[in-house]
């Protein structure tokens, strides 16, 4: 946590991401983040990227972010990953785990091969 402002990096990144949304007003972002006006002003002083983002927003020059699509390795369907998600659903993650987990006989052969 930044001692001077009291804002941590994650909170600052979340605020910047929410400010990029054209569907949310600044007051809605502050409400979602549970940040007071004074805290937001302090965040603007400490973080020039957020101040620049806010200025671009005022001028209408904010470029929309394009979603990065990823192909699910289990079902080959395209999806927009959340955080570091590798699969489009929990079912695909389970399916891939089943496919890549060796059966008991193979695990025994692999174990014996490593020992020798």
Question: Pairing mode, if any, of strands 78-79 and 70-71?
Answer: antiparallel
Do 50 and 14 fall within a single domain? yes
How many domains, in total, are found in the chain? Answer: 2
Whether residue 32 is contained in a domain is answered as yes
Tell me the average pLDDT of the chain. Answer: 82
Q: Rounded to an integer, what distance in angstroms lies between the CA atom of residue 15 and that of residue 53?
A: 10
Q: How far is CA 77 from the centre of its chain?
A: 20
Indicate whether 1 belongs to any domain.
Answer: no
More confident residue, 89 or 104: 89
Backbone angles phi, psi at 86, to 5 degrees: -95, -20
Same domain, residue pair 25 and 45: yes
108 and 80 belong to one structural domain: yes
Question: Is residue 115 over pLDDT 70?
Answer: no
pLDDT at 116: 56
The pTM of this model reads: 0.49
Evaluate the CA torsion angle 32, 33, 38, 40 in order and state its sign: negative
Q: Is residue 2 part of a domain?
A: no
111 and 75, same domain (yes or no): yes
24 exposed, middle or buried (CB, 10 Å; 0-12, 13-18, 19+)? middle
Q: Does residue 14 belong to any structural domain of this protein?
A: yes
Does residue 78 share a domain with residue 49?
no
| DSSP E strand stretches across 1-116 | 70-71, 78-79
Domain that holds residue 23: 9-59
Query: Would 81 be classed as within a structural domain?
Result: yes
Q: Is there a contact between 14 and 33 (Cβ–Cβ < 8 Å)?
A: yes
């Amino acid at each position: 946590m930044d001692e001077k402002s009291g804002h941590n990096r994650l909170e600052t990144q979340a605020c910047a991401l929410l400010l990029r949304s054209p569907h949310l007003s600044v007051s809605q972002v502050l409400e979602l983040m549970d940040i007071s006006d004074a805290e937001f002003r302090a965040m603007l002083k400490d973080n020039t990227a957020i101040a620049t983002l806010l200025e671009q927003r005022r001028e209408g020059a904010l470029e929309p972010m394009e979603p990065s699509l990823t192909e699910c390795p289990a079902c080959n369907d395209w999806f927009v990953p959340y955080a570091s998600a590798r699969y489009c659903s929990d079912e695909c993650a389970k399916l891939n785990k089943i496919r890549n987990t060796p059966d008991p006989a193979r695990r025994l052969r692999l174990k014996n091969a490593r020992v020798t």
